[in-house]
Amino acid sequence: MPWPPEAREELVTLLGAGESTVGVWEALEAEGLITRLLPDWERVRCRPQRNPVHRWTVDRHLVETAVRASALSRRVGRPDLLLVAALLHDIGKGWPGDHSVVGETIVRDVATRIGFDRADVSVLATLVRHHLLLVETATRRDLDDPATVRSVAEAVHSPATLELLHALTEADALATGPAAWSAWRGALVTDLVKRVAAVLAGEPAPDPDSPQQITAEQERLAIEACRTGGPVLALHARSEALPSADAATEPEPIGVELLIAVPDQPGVLSAAAGVLALHRLTVRAADLRAVELPSELDGADKPEDVLLLSWRVAAEYGSLPQAARLRNDLLRALDGSLDIVARLAEREAAYRKYPRRRGVHAPPPRVTIAPGSSQLATVIEVRAQDIPGLLHRIGRALEAAGLTVRSAHVSTLGANAVDAFYVTDPTGAPLAPMRAAEVAREVEQALR
C-alpha cells in the first residue's frame, strides 16, 4: 500500500476494455482475486438489489457500469477517474445507511490504497457521494429555479468534476435497465449540466422573475388558449435516440407527448390527470408550469398566465384517444359537468371484484418536504405506488389545501412514482414550516 502505478494502470485498462471486461472480471472473482485486491468488494458480491428496476445484482451492476463508462471515456478529460468511479459508485450498498454517504467514506480508503493522489481521491469521493444528484435533480426539481442549479454547482465544485459526473450518471442509468434511462431523462440531465456549467464558469444565475423560455409550439398553444379561453391540446408520437456515445444506438420509442395549454384556473392539474386516467393513459413523466404571456403576444390589455402541461403518456392497452376527445372531457372536467371522482371510484370498485395476487403488498406512500430546494416555493415530494389516478388524487389534495401549484415534476421508475410539486399559499409565498408539514400529512392521508 499504495499500489504501484503499474498495477493501478492495469486495473484502469481492464475496466476500459468494454464488453470483454465482464468475462475477465468473473474469472478473477471465481479465483477469489478480486476480494484480495479490493476487500470491500465482498460486501457487494452477489448482493441482490432492493429496487426491481435493476436488472443485475450489485456487483454485476458495478462492472456493467464500468463497461458503459468505457464507451463514454472520450467525453471526459480523466477517463481513469470515470472508470474507477463507475466500478465503486455503489460500493456502499453492502453497509447500513445511505449507500452514497457510506460509499464516499469507502472510496476514499480504496482510492488511497490504489494509489491516487489526494486531489484525485477527493474527486472520486465527490462522484460516489453525488452519483444520483444529476438525474434526481433533473427529474424532480424545477430547472428554472435558481436554487436548483446553485445547489448542484455547490456540490460538484468544478467543471471537470461536473463533466465526469455527467458521464457517470449516464453509464449508471444505462447499466441499471431500460426503465432508468430514456431520451427524455437524458435531455433533462443535459439541460441541467449546461446550466450548472454556466454558473461554474462565472455566468450570472437567471433572474427568477424573468419570463421562462418556451418552445415555439408551446407559445402557439398558449396564445390560442388565451384567445379561445379554453384548453388546447397537441399529441405527438416521439422516437428519439438515447444520448449516448454509441452511434449505432437505435431510436428509442418513448410513447406519446401530450401538450396542454389552458388559462390559469383552479383545478387544472387534478382535472387533466383525471381525464388521462379515465382514458387509461399511463403518465410516465409530466411537467407543469405557469408562464406569463405579454400583451403583445396574446393581444390582451394586460399579461395573462397560462398553464403549460407537458405529459409523456402511453396507453395501458388499445389505441390512443383522439386529442378532440381529450379536450372535450377536459372542458367538462373543468366546468364540473364530468364527475371524475365518481367515474374513477366506479372503476376502482369494479377492480375490487377481482382478488389481488397473493403476496403483492405495496409499501405505503410517503410525502415529505424538501427544505431549501427553492426560495420561491415549498417543494413537496411524493413517493408512492404508481396506480391509475394517482396524480389526480395528489392534485385534489393540494387543491383542497388551498395551495397553488407553480410547477410539478412527475417521474415513474417501474412501479414507483416519485413526484415533486412546487406549491405556494394563496398570496404566492412559500408555506410556513408547520403549515408545510400539515399539508404533507394531509396529502399522505389522501393517498392512503
Return the C-alpha torsion angle 179, 182, 187, 193, nearest 10.
50
* pLDDT for the residue 208: 57
Q: Mean pLDDT over residues 198-207, rounded? A: 80
* pLDDT for the residue 357: 53
Q: Mean pLDDT over residues 294-306, rounded? A: 56
Q: Mean pLDDT over residues 281-307, rounded? A: 67
Q: What is the pTM of this model?
A: 0.78
Is the model's pLDDT at 84 over the cut of 70? yes
Interatomic CA distance for residues 265 and 254, integer angstroms: 30
pLDDT, tens only, 110-140 = 999 999 999 999 999 999 999 999 999 998 8
pLDDT band, residue 242 (cuts 50/70/90): very low
Q: Which residues contact 377 (CB under 8 A, 6 or more apart)?
A: 145, 406, 407, 422, 423, 424, 430
pLDDT band, residue 294 (cuts 50/70/90): low
Exposure string of 330-347, with b = 16+ CB inside 10 Å and e = fewer, is bbebbeeebebeebbeee
* pLDDT for the residue 205: 64
What percent of the chain clears pLDDT 70, i.e. is strictly above it?
A: 88
* pLDDT for the residue 252: 43
Q: Mean pLDDT over residues 400-429, rounded? A: 86
Is the model's pLDDT at 298 over the cut of 90? no
Q: State the chain's mean pLDDT as an integer.
A: 85
* pLDDT for the residue 247: 41
* pLDDT for the residue 351: 66
Q: Mean pLDDT over residues 222-231, rounded? A: 85
* pLDDT for the residue 304: 63
* pLDDT for the residue 155: 95
* pLDDT for the residue 249: 43
Is the model's pLDDT at 250 over the cut of 50? no
What percent of the chain clears pLDDT 90, i.e. is strictly above it?
A: 46
Interatomic CA distance for residues 37 and 43, integer angstroms: 14
- Compute how many other C-beta atoms are within 10 angstroms of the C-beta atom of residue 83: 28
* pLDDT for the residue 48: 85
Is the model's pLDDT at 99 over the cut of 50? yes
- Comparing 438 with 347, which gets the higher pLDDT? 438
Amino acid at 260: I
pLDDT, tens only, 347-356 = 777 766 665 5
Q: Mean pLDDT over residues 413-432, rounded? A: 87
pLDDT band, residue 258 (cuts 50/70/90): confident
> Which cell goes with 257?
407527448
Q: Which of 117-126, 206-215, 221-230, 288-297 has the lowest mean pLDDT?
A: 206-215
Q: Mean pLDDT over residues 19-46, rounded? A: 93
- 251 three-state secondary structure: strand
